[in-house]
Amino acid sequence: MSARRLVVVGASLAGLRAVEAARKDGFDGRITLVGAEPHLPYDRPPLSKQFLEESGAGGASPTFRTEEVLRTELGVELLLGTPATSLDTAARTVVVGEQALGYDALVIATGATARRLPGTDGLAGVHTLRTLDDATAVRKALDAGARTVVIGAGFIGAETAAAARKRGLDVVVVEALPTPLVRAVGESMGGALASLHRRHGTDLRCGLSVTALEGEGRVERVRLSDGSVLDADLVVVGTGAVPATDWLEGSGLTLDNGVVCDEMLHAGAEGVYAAGDVARWHNPVFDRSMRLEHWTSAAEQGALAARNALNPQAARGYATVPYFWSDQYDTRIQFVGVPDADEITVVEGDIERDRLWVALYRAGDRLVGALAVNRPTEIMKYRGLVARHATWVEGLTFARSRVKSRQTAGV
Ligand code: FAD
């Protein structure tokens, strides 16, 4: 390892895993972790789940490590509350405030930024849900009993609605597409998951768009494309996120829906690697370019990007079967693989009747994905099959054997 200075930009999951992996591998040079937010690295998944379900008074902090651990045990210099504003790959410097930080190895882990609704800046009561500050503001509104409108029935929107319903609040979810979660799990399974909302008293309105948010300084009403008007004290915009690459404009790196990397997560310039939600790389498992917004891949890529950046001669590729989970109401939803399929078949349970089911996804003759609802022990088995390029027939045969063995065991 000849690098003496590692700079990691983005102090969240991927950035933290990068510094941890560097130290674990024995790197004893200087590490600087740069973060735009003033907070220590924290975990985002709880923000749309437990964090919102509990009132402001309670709840555990989502922070991963104390400042003491970061500074003393991991020997990390923290530059928090100040974004990096540019990268010069020839001079090997990153500009942060007034400083130009030199690096031998750089990990870009700036994640993604929530899409805002145009024209709503300055209207109080309208929030995205990406950061701890966003979640704190949303939680405060829920504490006050807000009539809540969620725009977008993706995972974050659905989880926010579920948290508000758990508090007994009135919630309307507005989704432009005919069913929720289409991009994540496909149309038929999205339709099946829509019933979760209805069963728990959330008013789900699909195929409609928002035409205006109205109010005097603070949101009071949401107008929809069918002419209906919803009273609202809180609007949560859950319409997706865009990779945080603005600061890299002009750096010479290829930016195209993320920082474009090769299989090693190398971003093209010497010493520069990317990881997490901001990185688009070639995933050999599916032989295609991907950018994931999933916890597991962000953590794994963060660690690998640091290792590869510090020891490029021994660089390894990143290959994965994407995995994410979501908790909504009393239901755990898990998905592995890719959702664009020629066929989706329910192999266990009945989506109309049961609270537990498993569906498999076929593309050509290959098993490419699996969705498990309240079946946490199953999903990683299917992940293994997808990783091994199992055929569709192998997937179905495996599913039948699982169902049979459970029936025999009476579970
Ligand atoms: P991020 O977590 O986005 O962090 C990037 C960091 O970089 C941010 O702190 C940002 O402020 C900082 N930054 C940006 N620009 C700059 C700059 N110029 N200079 C310095 N710092 C900068 N995934 C799942 O698999 N399951 C779930 O249940 C789940 N739930 C989620 C719930 C919520 C509310 C959210 C927001 C995400 C959820 N995810 C979930 C996704 C998962 O949390 C992300 O994939 C993960 O956080 C990505 O980590 P990251 O470090 O790549 O990026």
User: What confidence tier does 115 reach under pLDDT thresholds 50, 70, 90?
Assistant: very high
Q: What pLDDT, on a 0 to 100 scale, did the predictor assign at position 223? A: 97
User: Do the beta carbons of residue 151 and residue 157 sit within 8 Å?
Assistant: yes
* Mean pLDDT for the stretch of residues 73-77: 97
318 lines ligand 1 (CB under 6 A): no
User: Do the beta carbons of residue 268 and residue 277 sit within 8 Å?
Assistant: no
* Angle, helices 295-310/13-24, rounded to nearest 10 degrees: 40
d(CA 107, CA 4): 14
| Mutational pocket test of ligand 1: of 87, 110, 278, 321, the residue with most ligand atoms within 8 Å of the beta carbon | 110
Q: What pLDDT, on a 0 to 100 scale, did the predictor assign at position 59? A: 65
pLDDT cut 90: percent of the chain above it: 86
Higher pLDDT, 392 or 181: 392
Of 332, 347, 329, 328, the residue nearest 385 (C-alpha):
347
Atom 31, ligand 1: residue with shortest CA distance: 45
Do domains 5-113+241-314 and 330-409 share one topology? The answer is no
Contacts of 26 (CB under 8 A, 6+ apart): 1
220 lines ligand 1 (CB under 6 A): no
User: What confidence tier does 187 reach under pLDDT thresholds 50, 70, 90?
Assistant: confident
Average pLDDT of the residues of the chain: 95
* Mean pLDDT for the stretch of residues 201-217: 95
User: What confidence tier does 57 reach under pLDDT thresholds 50, 70, 90?
Assistant: low
User: What confidence tier does 355 reach under pLDDT thresholds 50, 70, 90?
Assistant: confident
Q: What pLDDT, on a 0 to 100 scale, did the predictor assign at position 407? A: 81
Of 408, 367, 372, the residue nearest 391 (C-alpha):
367
User: What confidence tier does 58 reach under pLDDT thresholds 50, 70, 90?
Assistant: low
Q: Ligand 1 centre and the CA of 399: distance in Å?
A: 34
d(CA 94, CA 88): 6
Q: Ligand 1 centre and the CA of 214: distance in Å?
A: 30
322 lines ligand 1 (CB under 6 A): no
83 lines ligand 1 (CB under 6 A): yes
- Asked if pLDDT for residue 408 goes beyond 80, the answer is yes
Q: What pLDDT, on a 0 to 100 scale, did the predictor assign at position 172? A: 97
326 lines ligand 1 (CB under 6 A): yes
pLDDT cut 70: percent of the chain above it: 99
| CATH 3.30.390.30 corresponds to the domain 330-409 | yes
Q: Ligand 1 centre and the CA of 115: distance in Å?
A: 13
Q: How far is CA 128 from CA 91, 224, 237, 239, in A?
A: 37, 19, 5, 9
Higher pLDDT, 121 or 47: 47
This prediction has a pTM of 0.96
Q: Ligand 1 centre and the CA of 297: distance in Å?
A: 11
* Mean pLDDT for the stretch of residues 306-328: 97
Q: Ligand 1 centre and the CA of 277: distance in Å?
A: 7
CA atoms within 13 A on the CB side of 143: 13
Higher pLDDT, 171 or 351: 171
Closest-lying ligand 1 atom to the alpha carbon of residue 301: 52
Q: What pLDDT, on a 0 to 100 scale, did the predictor assign at position 405? A: 86
CATH topology of domain 5-113+241-314: FAD/NAD(P)-binding domain (3.50.50)
Q: Ligand 1 centre and the CA of 49: distance in Å?
A: 15
d(CA 99, CA 155): 38
Q: What's the CATH superfamily of 116-237?
A: FAD/NAD(P)-binding domain (3.50.50.60)
Closest-lying ligand 1 atom to the alpha carbon of residue 41: 9
Cα 312–318–320 angle (5° rounding)? 170
The domain limits of the chain are 5-113+241-314, 116-237, 330-409
Closest-lying ligand 1 atom to the alpha carbon of residue 129: 34
Q: What pLDDT, on a 0 to 100 scale, did the predictor assign at position 119? A: 86
| Mutational pocket test of ligand 1: of 44, 94, 325, 331, the residue with most ligand atoms within 8 Å of the beta carbon | 44
Give the strands of the sheet with 210-214, arranged side by side.
210-214, 221-224, 229-231
Q: What is the DSSP string of 38-50?
A: SSPPB-SGGGGTH
Please write the tens of the pLDDT for every residue from 216-271. Answer: 999 999 999 999 999 999 999 999 999 999 999 999 999 999 999 999 999 999 99
Of 214, 230, 218, 227, the residue nearest 150 (C-alpha):
230
Coil, strand or helix at 135? helix
